[in-house]
Amino acid sequence: MAAKKVAQPVVLVTWGLRTPFISLLAILLACLVVAAVYLTGNNGWLLEGLIVSSTSFSSTTTIGSSSGNSGSDHKCNLFVGKWIYDNVSYPLYSERQCSFMSDQVACEKFGRKDLDYQHWRWQPDHCDLPRFNATALLERLRGKRLVYVGDSLNRGQWVSMVCLVESVIQQPKLKSLHFTHNSSLIKFKAKEYNATIEFYWSPLLVESNSDDPLMHRLPDRIVRIQEIEKHARYWTDADILVFNTYLWWKRTYMKTIWGSFEDVEHGIYKEVPMLRSYEMALKTWSDWVEIHVNHTKTKMFFVSMSPTHQTGDEWGKRREENCYSERWPIMKEEYWGRGSNKNMMGIVGDALAKLRDRGVDVKLINITQLSEYRKEAHPSIYRKQWDALTEEQLRNPTTYSDCNHWCLPGLPDVWNELLYAHIFGFS
Ligand SMILES: *[C@@H]1O[C@H](CO)[C@@H](O)[C@H](O)[C@H]1NC(C)=O
Ligand SMILES: *[C@@H]1O[C@H](CO)[C@@H](O)[C@H](O)[C@H]1NC(C)=O
Ligand SMILES: *[C@@H]1O[C@H](CO)[C@@H](O)[C@H](O)[C@H]1NC(C)=O
Ligand SMILES: *[C@@H]1O[C@H](CO)[C@@H](O)[C@H](O)[C@H]1NC(C)=O
Ligand SMILES: *[C@@H]1O[C@H](CO)[C@@H](O)[C@H](O)[C@H]1NC(C)=O
Ligand SMILES: *[C@@H]1O[C@H](CO)[C@@H](O)[C@H](O)[C@H]1NC(C)=O
């Protein structure tokens, strides 16, 4: 039993501790850590303290079980668990007090009165999530760049992260936002820490005609399936990378070109079935991160698909209804709706497995199942509307409800707690 636990420091070897003496020391220390976890009985706060003060052990993985079966020696899967209503510890910040809140997700500001969606805690089955400590994260990011790369869901998670950390920086002049590269890149800077938390807009990861962060609502979507460098040059040297790409692929066929966009005018493109094009894009992305990202320096994460709640019959309403007016999560265990495509999930899983075979570790932050339950956590009608609403729409709010994005504070805060747990080596 004990021997199995200590087997974890194998990970340490890949972190560059190679001499036998240091390995021995590592194993001894790991024993201490494991012992400490048992002593603290379950929740691992002490482990957090140890890890924070000792960066080289950030890959220790096992945490004690909280549900009485501490005899089992499986790694705790943070993504399997349940939602607990907790209006004492949540939300982790207030919408109004976050200096960098986005109108796209500020549901309370845009009139939402039922605020229960802010009060849910994610409880993994066999352990607890570590408490989010903004100071500890900023310390960890000192002199570093944390960069989110992807679509508006990933941008929502980035806003959440900025809100989670900015409250511990009291003086306004020590925190700021900067827009660069035609706003493709947005940087939150924490001056005292010389740390940045950034978001880079590239909704399909590879190059596409939707790459303008402001004007991307085009009728015809075209991807340059083998091109990523135009974007990647801005994030390749980051210290932590958090990718996602999903919703923009949801169509039967994707117009795909290998040459430049001008070639489309000459008809050199192909309508490729979506799954195949998704696979090709992830191959382009994988090749890039394998060859160009320094794996010793950079930690990489991929956030799995964010579910939508567009058709109410999935949870017992009429099909024409959606997330509008929902106030409570779905309580059915292992609920899975039509908004999440398991085949696409599989393609991401395969891409990450292939990278792992080639020695490149990109951790999946598997938020899909846990987010499936949260039909009430979308903005629906409570967000900034970019276009004026028609009489027709106003009569029928379902028609303009946003059931893709998520209110803040809310679900994306939990995604970031999961990311935090992984950055600090909890799983
Ligand atoms: C928190 O939730 C409990 C149980 O639902 C409720 O009794 C209590 O009034 C709530 N407290 C606040 C401050 O909303
Ligand atoms: C948060 O982290 C900081 C820096 O590591 C530490 O000093 C502080 O005690 C932590 N706070 C809590 C509540 O754990
Ligand atoms: C600040 O961080 C950047 C990396 O993001 C680094 O290149 C630079 O040297 C740091 N500056 C100082 C003054 O530490
Ligand atoms: C910004 O957009 C303009 C006009 O589309 C373009 O000429 C320029 O190269 C872009 N700059 C960057 C840094 O992408
Ligand atoms: C990769 O990063 C490590 C750690 O920061 C550094 O020591 C090493 O020189 C880097 N390798 C390359 C090829 O830049
Ligand atoms: C993510 O988690 C779900 C539910 O726990 C699981 O069905 C799925 O296979 C996982 N995805 C991957 C790529 O591991």
pLDDT digits (tens, 9 = 90+) for 106-147: 999 999 999 999 999 999 999 999 999 999 999 999 999 999
Task: Dump pLDDT digits (tens) for 206-250.
Answer: 999 999 888 877 778 999 999 999 999 999 999 999 999 999 999
Task: Dump pLDDT digits (tens) for 288-319.
Answer: 999 999 999 999 999 999 999 999 999 999 99
Q: Does ligand 3 lie within 6 Å of residue 145's CB atom?
A: yes
CA distances from 57 to 11, 145, 261, 297, 427 (A): 9, 21, 47, 15, 12
Q: Does ligand 4 lie within 6 Å of residue 181's CB atom?
A: yes
- Protein residue whose Cα sits closest to atom 2 of ligand 2: 136
Among 4-8, 33-37, 181-185, the range scoring the smallest mean pLDDT is: 4-8
Ligand with minimal distance to 141 CA: 3
With vertex at residue 244, the alpha carbon angle to CA 243 and CA 250, rounded to the nearest 5 degrees, is 160
What residues pair up with 13 in beta bridges, in sequence order? none
Note the pLDDT of residue 26: 42
Ligand with minimal distance to 16 CA: 5
Q: Does ligand 6 lie within 6 Å of residue 336's CB atom?
A: no
Note the pLDDT of residue 3: 34
Average pLDDT of span 29-41: 36
pLDDT beyond 70 at 73:
no
Task: Dump pLDDT digits (tens) for 248-258.
Answer: 999 999 999 98
| Residue 290 backbone phi and psi in degrees, to 5 | -65, -45
Task: Dump pLDDT digits (tens) for 257-280.
Answer: 988 888 777 778 899 999 999 999
Tokens coding 37: 């976890």
Distance 144 CA to ligand 5 centre (A): 14
- What three-state secondary structure class fits 301? strand
Residue 71: pLDDT band (50, 70, 90) is very low
User: How would you classify the pairing of strands 145-150 and 120-124?
Assistant: unpaired
| Residue 180 to residue 188: CA distance in whole angstroms | 11
| Residue 194 to residue 307: CA distance in whole angstroms | 35
Note the pLDDT of residue 41: 32
Beta strands in 183-266 (DSSP E): 185-190, 195-201, 207-208, 222-224, 240-243, 253-257
Q: Exposure string (b/e) for 309-323, b if CB count within 10 Å is 16 or more?
A: bbbbebbebeeebbb
User: Do 322 and 311 form a contact (C-beta atoms < 8 A)?
Assistant: yes
| Residue 424 to residue 415: CA distance in whole angstroms | 14
Note the pLDDT of residue 262: 80
Could you tell me the pTM of the whole model?
0.84
Task: Dump pLDDT digits (tens) for 383-416.
Answer: 998 888 898 899 999 999 999 999 999 999 999 9
Average pLDDT of span 161-181: 95
Average pLDDT of span 366-390: 94
Residue 45: pLDDT band (50, 70, 90) is very low
Note the pLDDT of residue 213: 87
Note the pLDDT of residue 38: 36
| Residue 273 to residue 34: CA distance in whole angstroms | 49
Distance 350 CA to ligand 6 centre (A): 12
Mean pLDDT computed over every residue of the chain: 84
Distance 133 CA to ligand 2 centre (A): 6
Q: Say which of 152, 304, 306, 371 is annotated catalytic.
A: 152
